[in-house]
Amino acid sequence: MNIKELIVYTQQPKLYEPGNAVMWTDPYISKQLLECHINPDTDTASRSNDKINLVIDWIDLQLKSKKVSILDLGCGPGLYTEKLAKRGHSVTGVDFSGTSIEYAKSKTISNNSNITYYCKNYLDINFKECFDVAIMIYLDFCVLTPPERTIVLDNIYRSLKKDGLFIFDVINSKNIEEKILKNSWEVCKKGFWRNSPYIVLNKLALYSTRYRIAS
Ligand SMILES: C[S@@+](CC[C@H](N)C(=O)[O-])C[C@H]1O[C@@H](n2cnc3c(N)ncnc32)[C@H](O)[C@@H]1O
């Protein structure tokens, strides 16, 4: 990369401006991500196991002990789906990372948990009134652009039975500066992002515009 390209790539993007980087579905990066997902002690790609258990307890509390059909959008390697199935729910997971879905499928076979998985983009799902509950966990809704949020909400609405429930999490603005990455840079011979030499330039930007979902 030459210095002119570097200047272009380090300009602050417009709010929700799509980038051209691929992360979740990149064959190399998705393997590093899987290691992060299944590490029970970190909050990187998935929450730590203790926190996941708290989320599962909270979801069950909302369901008032009913056993329901649940659609997990962006299910990753199935950390939530497995626990929900163990509690007697009928569970379907959707994720576009082939690496994560392969891992999730191998777990449902070894655990005999009978979970259905689709390796698919959740912007393209086409279920019709199949589920009591849809979940989208670990801030996935936050990273979508406004048009993508509309598509995903339409898809979820169509997937849910009458009086269905959509559960998702968002980041709140309390102590936001402390919650997000600080500016940093690193040079690696090989590592998380590539199996070859690379430089990472991390820059933090906060945007003041608030997004509202049209009613
Ligand atoms: C932050 S991870 C959370 C994974 C899981 N919900 C958890 O908390 O363990 C986001 C997941 O969403 C998936 N994902 C992101 N965009 C997606 C899309 N458009 N369609 C399907 N899966 C997507 C990624 O592959 C990744 O597994």
The C-alpha angle with vertex 73 and arms to 70 and 76, in degrees rounded to 5, equals 110
Q: Is 210 a member of any domain?
A: no
Query: From the CA of 103, how far away is ligand 1's center (Å)?
Result: 14
Q: Rounded to two decimals, what is the model's pTM?
A: 0.94
Q: Print the domain residue range for 140.
A: 27-168
Mean local confidence (pLDDT), 19-28: 93
Q: What is the pLDDT of residues 32-67, one digit of tens each?
A: 999 999 999 999 999 999 999 999 999 999 999 899
Q: Is 214 a member of any domain?
A: no
Q: Percent of the chain scored above 90 by pLDDT?
A: 76
CATH number, residue 43? 3.40.50.150
**Ligand 1 test: best mutation among 29, 39, 96, most atoms within 8 Å of CB?**
96
End-to-end C-alpha distance for the chain, whole angstroms: 45
Region of poorest pLDDT, from 68-72, 85-89, 150-154, 174-178: 174-178
Q: Is 78 a member of any domain?
A: yes
Cβ(80)–Cβ(58) below 8 Å: no
CA distance 170 to 95: 19
Which residue's CA is the closest to the ligand 1 atom numbered 23? 74
- Looking at this protein, which amino acid is placed at residue 189? K
Looking up tokens 């670990």 gives 138
Q: Is 10 a member of any domain?
A: no
Q: Is 152 a member of any domain?
A: yes
Q: Percent of the chain scored above 70 by pLDDT?
A: 95
Under the banding of pLDDT at 50, 70 and 90, the label for residue 102 is very high
Which residue's CA is the closest to the ligand 1 atom numbered 19? 121
Q: Is 189 a member of any domain?
A: no
Mean local confidence (pLDDT), 73-88: 98
Q: Is 183 a member of any domain?
A: no
Region of poorest pLDDT, from 97-106, 137-146, 180-189, 203-212: 203-212
Under the banding of pLDDT at 50, 70 and 90, the label for residue 183 is confident
Mean local confidence (pLDDT), 67-87: 98
In this predicted structure, the answer to whether residue 209 has a pLDDT above a threshold of 70 is no
Cβ < 6 Å from ligand 1: which residues? Answer: 24, 37, 45-46, 74-76, 79, 94-97, 100, 121-123, 137-138, 140
Q: How many domains does the chain have?
A: 1
**Ligand 1 test: best mutation among 22, 23, 24, most atoms within 8 Å of CB?**
24
Atom nearest to 30 CA in ligand 1: 25
Q: Is 186 a member of any domain?
A: no
Query: From the CA of 75, how far away is ligand 1's center (Å)?
Result: 6
Query: From the CA of 155, how far away is ligand 1's center (Å)?
Result: 16
Atom nearest to 47 CA in ligand 1: 8
CA distance 199 to 191: 10
Mean local confidence (pLDDT), 65-73: 96
pLDDT value of position 114: 96
| DSSP one-letter string for 29-65 | HHHHHHHHHH-TT--SSS--HHHHHHHHHHHHHHHTT
Atom nearest to 139 CA in ligand 1: 1
In this predicted structure, the answer to whether residue 214 has a pLDDT above a threshold of 60 is no
**Distance of alpha carbon 89 from its chain centroid, rounded?**
21
Mean local confidence (pLDDT), 115-132: 98
